[in-house]
Chains A and B, each alone.
Chain A
């Protein structure tokens, strides 16, 4: 049948290893009315208008195939940043580009809803901190994966089921449970289904928000293994959010530190964790040791 999503919206060129897969600059998200005083904000809350800047002036590049860690305390704006990158939330300021995507305006934050949907369905996958946001709990596990494939214009039940079963195996879910509702699954299984869904259209970029938080230690370790394995086998780039430094240390090539809505430090993970520059990072690292 007709392909709705893909219709002459975009061409995705081959990914160049040298240039960033994703480039972000000056991204900010404000909750509240905003005012001129917001421009030289100190914390997250504007004293003049009372607006809350969940994240502010965020700039970074993410390269093909790398795992970029993002740490920071609760409320520092990590999830908000991810939701803005996934177009779940409208960023207030900033520029976002994906150089291999040609078709929309240079700044994808200003692209049409249809173009954003195309990018989200073809170039990104996301694992939400809260599985209730990432999964439809009253749609079968396979159906959750199908949703992504349907959004990308695959209208063939047999092909959808073959791909869903393949992903199911990849995330080590028991095949007989493919048609079950995710609300019956354990937390670790729900995260696996979220990962399978995120991988459905073989995107070059995954956004992972606290993928192991709230899981038992042994389950955590297995999900982390899975993430590492996916990165190794599929070469997918990941932006990995966690407030757990151990997770970051284990997986991230480079790490960014977020504090009160801002990026206060970024660099190679070892460097950031062994020899932190910013006082907040020093505090963070010391409290872990």
Chain B
């Protein structure tokens, strides 16, 4: 996409990638610390961004602090490259850096995402930046920050275990769908952000680097390459990803991707479609359908 014609005048007065170099350095330093302590939430001085908080300012700041002229960026929102949110973030980065963007997961060096990890396995050297609304996995159980900080320091996660136990007693199984609490390399409990369970196994022993940015809560954390990521689970209630029995993508026919449900108003039937639009498109191309 060529953004030069639509580029607003005010952008000319900004530094490469919008943030000033001091801010970028601070974010990179905090990122290095996050990489050094997998799953540990590192506070950072979150900047005001020209998009509303809650729309991925944490992820965006990571992206802007890390991006260089040689990078290729992909932005997805709930698996889609075309949603309004993804498009506006992509535009902002294009306008302030002049670098090229892509929808091709394999071609991207840096991917910013909300709520999904691409279906195509990421390789060494790629960075996936996840937007995080609530970085603290213990927050719903324990509102006091000083207490959750102590619980992390002492690795006292029995309150979280108890919440999962109660879930099983009440509902027969753990009902947590997204943001499933995971342990990073046997030490820190972290929230993988609101990705579905489907994506959780992709975090374990991955070749790429995962970075998590929470703008409103001012936290950065990381899952570096080849880190163990274990979703909390009981020995007799093993963790399982979502499966829709018998469902396949109405466009590409896939049965091995994360699907979302559409109600077909005309037929009154339930239809399914890949949530990762780029992957779905690619599959259709390979099969000569598109």
Is A156's CB under 8 angstroms from B162's CB? no
Which of these, B161, B166, B235, contacts A140 with CB under 8 Å? B166
- Interface membership of chain B positions 143-166, coded 1 if the CB is closer than 8 angstroms to chain A and 0 otherwise: 000000010011111110110011
CA gap between A139 and B233 in the complex, in Å: 19
Contact B165 A157 (CB under 8 A): yes
Q: Is the interface of B mostly helix, strand, loop or mixed?
A: mixed
Taken together as a complex, chains A and B put the C-alpha atoms of A157 and B170 apart, in Å, by 12
**A156 and B154 contacting across the interface, CB-CB below 8 Å:** no
Per-residue CB contact flags for chain A residues 103-134 toward chain B (1 = under 8 Å, else 0) read 00000000001100100000000000000000
Contact of B169 with A150 in the complex, beta carbons under 8 Å: no
Is B186 at the interface (CB under 8 A from chain A)?
yes
Question: Closest CB-CB distance, B130 to chain A, in whole Å?
Answer: 24
Q: Choose from B155, B169, B235, B236 the contact partner of A143 (Cβ within 8 Å).
A: B169
Given A1-B230, A139-B166, A158-B236, residue A150 in contact with residue B158 (CB < 8 A): yes
Provide the bound-state CA to CA distance between A104 and B70, in Å: 54
Q: Which residues of A contact B230 (CB under 8 A)?
A: 1-2
Interface SS of chain A:
helix
Contact assessment for A155 and B154 in the assembled complex, using a CB-CB cutoff below 8 Å: no
- Say yes or no: is A160 at the interface (Cβ < 8 Å to chain B): yes
Question: Could you tell me the distance between the alpha carbons of A136 and B162 in the complex, rounded to whole angstroms?
Answer: 11
Query: Once the chains bind, are A114 and B166 in contact (CB under 8 Å)?
Result: no
What residues of B have a CB within 8 angstroms of the CB of A155 in the complex? 161, 234-235
Q: Which residues of B contact A158 (CB under 8 A)?
A: 236
Tell me which residues across on chain B come within 8 A of A179, comparing CB atoms.
169-170
Whether a CB of chain A sits under 8 angstroms from the CB of B168 is yes
- Residues 1-16 of A at the B interface (beta carbon under 8 Å): 1-2, 4-5
Verify A146–B162 contact, CB threshold 8 A: yes
Residue of B154, B162, B166, B232 near A113 (CB, 8 A) is B154
Chain B 178-196 interface mask (CB, 8 Å, partner A; 1/0): 0000010010000000000
Bound Cα distance from A155 to B168, whole angstroms:
13
For window 238-271 of B, CB contacts with A under 8 Å fall at none
Smallest distance from the beta carbon of B43 to chain A beta carbons, Å? 22
- Residue on B with the closest CB to A151? B158
> A143 to B170, alpha carbons, bound, how many Å?
11
Interfacial chain A residues near B226, Cβ < 8 Å: none
B200 CB to closest chain A CB (Å) equals 15
How many whole Å from A161's CB to the nearest CB in chain B? Answer: 8
Q: How far is the CB of B40 from chain A (nearest CB, A)?
A: 16
**Cβ of B154 and Cβ of A143 under 8 Å apart?**
no
Scan A69-99; emit 1 where CB is below 8 A from any B CB, else 0: 0000000000000000000000000000000
Cα–Cα, bound, A113→B233 (Å):
25
Nearest neighbor of A160 in chain B, beta-carbon distance: B165
Q: Tell me whether A114 and B161 are in contact in the complex, defined as CB-CB below 8 angstroms, given that A2-B183, A156-B235, A158-B236 are known contacts.
A: no
A157 and B237 in contact (CB under 8 A), knowing A143-B165, A143-B166?
yes
Tell yes or no: A147 within 8 A of B by CB: yes
Which residues of chain A come closer than 8 Å to B186, judged between CB atoms? 2
- Judging by beta carbons under 8 Å apart, are B156 and A117 in contact? yes
Q: Does A142 contact B (CB under 8 A)?
A: yes
Please encode chain B, from 212 to 245, with 1 for each CB lying within 8 Å of some chain A CB and 0 for all others: 0000000000000000001011111100000000
Question: Would you mind naming 13 contact pairs between A and B with Cβ atoms under 8 Å apart?
Answer: A1-B232, A2-B183, A4-B157, A114-B154, A140-B166, A143-B166, A143-B169, A155-B161, A156-B234, A157-B236, A158-B236, A160-B165, A179-B170
Q: A1-B232, A146-B162, A146-B165 are in contact. List 19 more A-B contacts (CB 8 A).
A: A1-B235, A4-B155, A5-B156, A113-B153, A114-B154, A117-B156, A140-B169, A142-B169, A143-B165, A143-B166, A143-B169, A147-B158, A147-B162, A150-B161, A155-B161, A155-B235, A157-B165, A157-B234, A160-B165
